[in-house]
Amino acid sequence: MTQKRLFIFSAPSGAGKTTIARHLLEKFPQMKFSISATTRPRREKETHAKDYYFLSKGEFQTALRANELAEYEEIFGNFYGTLKSEINAALSEGKLLVFDIDVKGALSLQRAYPDDSLLIFVAPPSMEILQQRLTERNTESAEQLRLRLARAEMELQEQGKFDEIIVNDTLEHSFQAARELVYKYARL
């Protein structure tokens, strides 16, 4: 088995991938978070260059034309993507890189970096629980919630294309499963 250095987490919105990714970053100092670029508005507690690189649509299009993105996707009218410079810097520093991206982006990264990528799908225990989590998060309008749930159906159909699946029934179980994947694939 080839050692993996890109740990790529994908899941429907609200399934817990960000929480699991943050847990790994706390537990493994050799891991670095891959900061995505986005054109979506910044949420209240988010910081530029920490949570995302917040770009205008024009800036994003310029990066795209300059072939500076390893992958990108338009989701709900906003663009999201991974800068090649983020990946190349982490790999040259010998870091393990943790991604928190959408399903299509994950599959694109696997095509671009096949030897280094480990795709991990975080699944909710059920659609009902996912809807409850999104509702309790209280960050989307009713229409945005409906769109996220419709997209979740599509994303769940793609989980068979992933190397590993974690069902996020409890955080402790999910944290343990994620740590075991790091030990197994990063050979720590």
pLDDT tens for 94-109 read: 899 999 998 989 999 9
Q: Is the pLDDT of residue 1 over 80?
A: no
Q: What is the mean pLDDT of residues 19-27?
A: 96
Beta carbons of 44 and 162 less than 8 angstroms apart: no
Task: Output the pLDDT for position 124.
Answer: 92
Relative to beta strand 96-100, strand 31-33 is parallel
Q: How many CB atoms lie within 10 A of CB 59?
A: 14
Q: Is the pLDDT of residue 188 over 80?
A: no
Residue with tokens 């399934």: 15
pTM confidence score: 0.87
**Full set of structural domains in the chain with CATH:** 6-186 (3.40.50.300)
Q: Is the pLDDT of residue 13 over 90?
A: no
The helix (H) or strand (E) run that includes residue 123 is strand 117-123
Within 79-170, where are the H helices? 84-92, 103-112, 127-137, 142-157
